[in-house]
Structure 1
Amino acid sequence: MSDGDEAASDEEHTDDDSAGEMEFGDQPSPLGVKVGSTRTVVAAGDADNPEVTQTLTCLATYDDALTGEEHVIYGEEAATEYPDRVRFMLRSGLPEDEETTGLAKRFFEEFAAANGLGADSVVVYAIPTIDNDAGLQRLSEIIEEGPVGERRVASYPESLCGAVPALGDGLDAIEDTFVAVNMGSTNLEACAYRRGEQLAPFSTGAVTGSEVDRRIANYVEEETQGRVNIDVQTAREYKETHADFDDYEPFSDIIQQPGGGTYEFTIEDAVMDAVDEFVDDAVNEVANIFMPDFANDYMKVYQQALDNPVVLTGGMACIPGIVGEFERRLTEEVGREVEATTADHPETAAARGAHRIAERLVDLGEY
């Protein structure tokens, strides 16, 4: 799947694919799925009030102590019990090789079985906008051979799916013209949409949520004068728990010292310094790389798009106050008034938006 002008791609499972293997009901279930580098999110049920399930995109295996049989655990349980060998198979945003593709397939099979996600479904996947044909092909393989979506599988850009809950109660985003900026763990993506069509898609791995986590870890070490070293998982937890542009407060934590005893420390600046730099870097990429290219190629559409709010999606958009900071700094950088917005709960917005699209496909009988 490429970053071309088409916003959607389908791989339909016809009656020939599964004839004689299973019986389906009159109407399939709609599912919205985002298999992300850090978290996998699924939205199901009623699109107006969906059931949202999420977990870490990781797994670990272990041998049964009695039988020697290999078992698989995934998500938070795997990360907590087996931190020494847990695998995050999509750390770069896409599967990198045959091994990680196989692990991702196994992860999603276990996740679907544990959460009762049925094969008799229409599934819309929210996928990243990344210029990596090989990685996208491997992701397509995971999707097409997955345990759900026997009626139909479709893929839409993650930023478009994430914009759907931000721009109304229905599918207004599919009929609108706007700019979306996806602030993910592994990439910063920017794209304009015109009635669902992608225009001027842009992606960079230089400004990411994962880089924020690494900076937090480094800044904590500097702030504590080398007395505290945290891993990126702890740094991510600090970011998700404490980062706040509206009302940040310093916080304390305790570590066990070598040789016994504990050391309590307080973090004043490390977290907010890292996320503040992220916003500056994101604004710079959007204002000085994405927007000039967009304006040069589609000047009239550019003007129309910026009359509407810029939609922020992805995990970093969850930080309180980041929308206002991005709006203020982008306005200053481009020299014109810019409005920004995001959905409630941006971390699950892509799956919820994909679910609305899936429900519309079911309602239209497009399966």
Structure 2
Amino acid sequence: MSESESDGAEFDEQPAALGVKVGSTRTVVSAGDANDPNVVRTLTCLATYEDALTGEEHVLYGEEAATEYPDRVRYMLRSGLPEDEETTDLAKTFLEEFARSNGLPEDSVVVYAIPTIDNDVGLERLSEIIEDGPIGERLVRSYPESLCGAVPALGDGLEAIEETFVAVNMGSTNLEACAYRRGEQLAPFSTGAITGTEVDRRIANYVEEETQGRVNIDLTTAREYKEEHADFLDYEPFSDIIQQPGGGTYEFTIEESVMDAVDEYVDDAVDEVANVFMPELANDYMKIYQQALDNPVVLTGGMACIPGVVDEFEQRLSEELERDVTATTADDPATAAARGAHRIAGRLVELNEY
């Protein structure tokens, strides 16, 4: 966990509490009342353009940038962390524009939900972005994304901080797993081989195969197919239309491509958790391993949003471990990390820990 404090400035009022998740695909901020938060989310991207009259450079971010300037929009955290000085500076600009546009208060206590990735240089750059950011003048802290995401899944308060459990973060750029004991992170594990982005690539490939080469979609369209149509409970084939190079349109129907890709993802994720992470956890912390599996495994991250994925993961993990395992997730996994971080920030404000 990292922490930075203001430089002795005097404040008269209690600061606002904010929870922030700056993700590879989307950024989410939870503000206001932590029990009934105002949640704002946008794509983690920006584009610049020159004013046609004044020649000044202007910045657009989020959906507006992606829609108006798809040819040069920049997703600065595609790998989950900034990769160099350029993407670090872009991320700083993005956060400044996002905070300004949404009126996020400088006088605030901010908790960031950050990934568990074995990349010290990238994490240092992320810390730089956070500490130089436009919010969190009173206090900035960062907690693991999977812990923050587990908070709304395990109760109405901060019960997760008192529990022993396993969390699996099913994100766009990494699959992460770890155990928590009263907020302490044990045996953290991360792999970039099983990701939501890889699912998008498979969907694009499978669509091409299913349409016998007639349709080629980009990763953005594949992600949209996944988010709009993937469903383990009640999947229905869907149709789309493309413009053909020689003129006219071509309508096609997707029967299997989306669900084949997400089904393979769940199998791969369960295999990695059951046969790589769990043995390491049992080897290092046998009693914690036993206690944690008596409680639900908490799924967090964007892939946990797919309807029915929790039951599928639970069933397949139980079969793989040859013991009954339960799984759960928050009511909105895509915003859970920011909402959990917000509750932690709210508690810090209540305790005057700033």
TM range (shorter): over 0.9
Residue identity in the other structure for 2:155 = G
Superposed CA deviations along residues 127-172 of structure 1, whole A, max 9, x for unmatched, are 0000000000000000000000000000000000000000000000
Using the size of structure 2 for normalisation, the TM-score is: 0.99
Which of 139, 142, 158 does residue 152 from structure 1 map onto?
139
**Residue identity in the other structure for 2:331:** D
| SS of residue in 1 equivalent to 2:142 | strand
Partner deviation per Cα, 1:12-36 (whole Å, 9 max, x = no partner):
2231xxx4xxx64420000000000
Is residue 2:322 matched to residue 1:335? Answer: yes
Q: Tell me which moved more, 350-359 or 257-266.
A: 257-266
Offset of 1:200 from its aligned partner?
A: 0.3
- Hey, what does 2:116 align to over in structure 1? 129
* 1:344 paired residue number: 331
What TM-score comes out, normalization by structure 1 length?
0.96
Deviation at 1:118, TM superposition (A): 1.0
- Residue of structure 1 aligned with 2:21, choices 31, 34, 40: 34
Q: Kindly provide the CA deviation profile for residues 164-196 of structure 1, in whole angstroms up to 9, marking residues without a partner as x.
A: 000000000001000000000000000000000
Matched, 1:318 2:311: no
Partner of 1:365: 352
Q: Secondary structure at the match of 2:176?
A: strand
CA contact (8 A) 1:159 1:181 kept: yes
Aligned residue pairs: how many? 354
Give identity over the alignment, percent.
83
Q: Separation in 1 of the partners of 2:2 and 2:233? A: 39
Deviation beyond 3 Å, 4+ runs, structure 1? none
Q: Deviations over 1:278-324 (max 9, x none)?
A: 00000000000000000000001100000000000000000000000
Q: CA offsets per residue over residues 37-92 of structure 1, 9 Å max, x none? A: 00000000001100000000000000000111000000000001101100000000
**Structure 2 SS opposite 1:83:** coil
Deviation at 1:9, TM superposition (A): 2.3
Aligned match of 2:6: 13
Cα deviation digits, residues 237-272 of structure 1 (max 9, x gap): 000000000000000000011121110000000000
Mapped to 1, the partners of 2:108 and 2:144 lie a distance apart of: 20
| 1:353 is the counterpart of 2:340 | yes
Q: Any unmatched runs of 5+ in structure 2?
A: none
Structure 1 unaligned residues grouped into runs of 5+: 1-7
CA distance in 1, matches of 2:193, 2:333: 21
The one-letter amino acid paired with 1:131 is D
Distance 1:366 1:229 in 2: 53
Q: Aligned equivalents of 2:223 and 2:144: distance in 1?
A: 25
**Contact 1:25–1:120 (8 Å) recurs in 2:** no
Q: Which residue of 2 aligns with 1:5?
A: none
